[in-house]
Amino acid sequence: MDLPVMPPVHPMLAKTAAAIPPGMQYEAKWDGFRAIVFRDGDEIELGSRSAKPLTRYFPELVAALRERIPPRCVLDGEIVIARAGRLDFDALLERIHPADSRVRHLAEVTPASFVAFDLLALGDASLMPQPQQARRRELTAALRDATAPVFPAPATDDLDLARSWFDRFEGAGLDGVVAKPPGMAYRPGERVMTKVKHERTADCVVAGIRHHKSGPVVGSLLLGLYDDTGRLQHVGVCASFPMRRRQELMTELEPLLMASVEGHPWERWTSEEAQATGRLPGGPSRWTGKKDLSWLPLRPERVVEVAYDHMQGDRFRHTAQFRRWRPDREPAQCTYAQLTEPVRYDLTEVLGG
């Protein structure tokens, strides 16, 4: 492989804002695996956000890219999987599997797509020094004849349309909106774009903690909601705290620590069968193959209000943010019924936009 932009490339990143800023180029924020595609003739490599190779996990996508993108180019975009008109991140996670036979099977039953939103190189020229608006024009021209499963990401400079996308596209499983300065060159690894994500709040039961890697202070709070059968289901974690706050939380929660998991709603976590599902904290990571089963059970008596962006199935898609304790709430009131569901929106309409 001999391209004007060579792997590894760490993609340009975004910082969070509360509102969509004016005067930008706007795109939907995709919920998938960020990937840089390098193509030099028949050679194709897919690099992750951390520059780890993704190529072996998506053989069907490699074949599709070989047929649909220019013979020498570097693209920045997102690998996604759609089901029933929505993005399905759980199905995407399943694609990271060590067994080649499993990878080939999943490539057939849950094929991936690639949504391209930047063009870093074309032919013998690096486009990274060019402004965003110029790279966008080159991307549109380069992919004008591309067909599924390769798509150019919809983009606009209309602020009102971007606000409309922010509301409508969530129903297709998208995260929010990304704003890019139109005159900015591509700056690998820097947070120079702006992302505006959906945020909601929920009252959750704190049913366990995990220690921080630095020692016996709170690393994360394990959150639960009651389902229709009255079972407390694990829905995610709340983990971003200053060190002083981690120590304070440990002191606050110490009286609720249980001597063992016996009698705890999540005592089944210790079983091999439960861990094999990969849906519980301490399950094996699809990226590293390692597992960390350490967690401390708490009596499920405290309620915390957390902020979250959206749900993936029955769990928070990303780490939730601590807002406040809710001593005025009873744990039994922490149910799925409080969560709002966005109006559904067909992903094919987004990609056709």
How does pLDDT run across 80-90, given as a tens digit for each residue?
999 988 899 88
Domain ranges for the chain: 13-198, 200-338
How many Cβ atoms sit within 10 Å of the Cβ of residue 164?
13
Q: Which of 307, 99, 258, 335 is nearest to 269 (CA)?
A: 258
Burial class (CB in 10 A: 0-12, 13-18, 19+), 321: middle
Look at domain 200-338 and name its CATH class. mainly beta
> Residue 223 corresponds to which amino acid?
L
Determine which one of 29, 180, 195, 197 is catalytic: 29
Average pLDDT over residues 154-180: 93
Whole-structure pTM value: 0.76
CA distances from 75 to 27, 109, 128, 251, 333 (A): 16, 26, 11, 49, 47
Predicted local confidence at residue 293, as pLDDT: 53
Calculate the average pLDDT of the chain.
Answer: 90
CA distances from 28 to 166, 168, 172 (A): 7, 10, 11
Report the distance separating Cα 87 and Cα 93, nearest Å: 12
Integer-rounded Cα radius of gyration of the chain: 22
φ, ψ of residue 290 to 5 degrees: the values are: -95, 160
Cα-Cα-Cα-Cα dihedral sign, residues 332, 295, 281, 209: positive
Give the distance, in angstroms, between the CA of residue 209 and the centroid of all CA atoms in the same chain. 23
Predicted local confidence at residue 215, as pLDDT: 87
Average pLDDT over residues 58-82: 97
| DSSP-H helix ranges across the chain | 59-68, 89-94, 100-109, 132-142, 159-168, 243-253, 272-276, 347-351
Report the distance separating Cα 120 and Cα 140, nearest Å: 13
Predicted local confidence at residue 283, as pLDDT: 47
Omega cis (within 30) before 8: yes
CATH topology of domain 13-198: D-amino Acid Aminotransferase; Chain A, domain 1 (3.30.470)
pLDDT surpassing 60 at residue 225: yes
Q: Are 46 and 64 in contact (CB under 8 A)?
A: no
Average pLDDT over residues 184-211: 93
* pLDDT cut 90: percent of the chain above it: 72
Q: What does the block give as tokens for 348?
A: 């094919």
DSSP 143-206: TTT--TTEEEPPEES-HHHHHHHHHHGGGGT--EEEEE-TTPPP-TT-EEEEEEE--EEEEEEE
Report the distance separating Cα 65 and Cα 113, nearest Å: 10
Q: What is the DSSP letter of 335?
A: B
Q: Are 116 and 70 in contact (CB under 8 A)?
A: no
Average pLDDT over residues 144-157: 96
Mean pLDDT is highest, among 3-7, 242-246, 306-310, for 3-7
pLDDT in tens, 91-133: 998 999 999 999 999 999 999 999 999 999 999 999 999 999 9
Q: Tokens 């921080």 label which residue?
A: 212
Buried residues in 165-182 as b, exposed as e (16+ CB within 10 A): bbebbbbbbbbbbbbbbe
- The question of whether 29 is a catalytic residue gets the answer yes
CA distances from 127 to 10, 118, 121, 131, 187 (A): 15, 10, 5, 9, 11
pLDDT surpassing 70 at residue 287: no
Omega cis (within 30) before 71: no
